[in-house]
Structure 1
Amino acid sequence: MKLIKKIGLVLIIALVIIQFIRPDKNNAETRNLTAFITDTKPSTEVTAILEKHCYDCHSDKTTYPWYAELAPVSLWIDHHVEEGKEHFNVSNWSKYKLKKRDHKLDELIEEVEEGEMPLESYSWLHGSITEEEKETLIKWANGVRASYNIE
């Protein structure tokens, strides 16, 4: 029993100490969606899907839930946001050349079709993307890609 108490005490101390490790927040002034919206022209329905399921991890501004203040969850969320922005960041859309924009939309389609996006861990707390929403998002992304006329 003494061993269990010692392990418990060490875990509590570690949990308290880790609270002092604070990752930088993804808190730009705005999401800076102008170039993305101008270029891709999402419908109201697509915009709602993107706002609900995508922008928090794939833009320069994240709306953090209360539990994002608690380590180790804060570190886990920070990792997901950084990785999401690395692969697809709508706030950087104006910096992408046409071919890269096409590739990013192709990746979006692939990830959504395969059920990889949004992440399952995100969906647990924010709700899953429905099949209808998936179809709407994929149809929109395919339409944008077709307008690029890249061969």
Structure 2
Amino acid sequence: MKKKVLIGILVILVGIQFIRPDKNDGPADTPQDITHFVQVPDSVTTTLKLACYNCHSNHTDYPWYANISPVSLWLAHHIDEGKDELNFSNFAQYDKKRMDHKLEEVAEEVEESHMPLPAYTLVHQDAKLSEAQKQQLIEWVKTERAKLGVIPEK
């Protein structure tokens, strides 16, 4: 009985290797990218690309394990969720109010250490933000939100 269960599990694991989610392999640097719409210092661009763009842009640099199901399915789901929430590659397509709100969320998520996700930084050590990087991102967001001039609703 145990042998049949193990063979069944093995067949399922081999079978799901043929299920391939779509890759997020479009161009990261699009004309609508945030770096072309608002002023982004080089240091902030570097931080965004290291810590955010793999899940929040149209291009992901996949690690080797992204080709193994069910990990590939899990990663695809996380990337889709990330892009639905905020896509830096399409930032210029947002209206000013939405841009302002998304920038506000960036600052909040970074300040509260919710982003980048702890599971992501566990594997991608270079995506861990230092306190200085966090403060730099937060200050940059404040500056850009002020430039947008959106009056918050009460």
- Report the TM-score, using the length of structure 1 for normalisation: 0.92
Larger mean Cα displacement after TM superposition, 60-69 or 27-36: 27-36
The Cα shift of 1:110 comes to 1.1
| Residue 70 of structure 2: aligned partner | 72
The Cα shift of 1:33 comes to 5.6
Q: Is there any run of 5+ residues in structure 2 with no aligned partner, and where?
A: none
| Number of positions where the alignment pairs a residue of Structure 1 with one of Structure 2 | 149
Q: Is there any run of 5+ residues in structure 1 with no aligned partner, and where?
A: none
Query: Given the alignment of the two structures, is residue 144 of structure 1 paired with residue 144 of structure 2, yes or no?
Result: yes
| Residue 22 of structure 2: aligned partner | 24
Moved over 4 A (4+): none
What is the alpha-carbon root mean square deviation over aligned residues?
Answer: 1.4
Q: 1:1-150 to 2 correspondence within 5 Å?
A: 2-3=1-2, 5-32=3-30, 35-127=33-125, 128-150=128-150
The answer (yes or no) to whether the contact 2:32–2:93 under 8 Å persists in 1 is no
Percent of matched pairs sharing the same residue: 43
Change (3 A) 1:86 1:34: closer
The Cα shift of 1:56 comes to 1.0
- Report the TM-score, using the length of structure 2 for normalisation: 0.90
Output the amino acid matched with 1:146. Answer: A
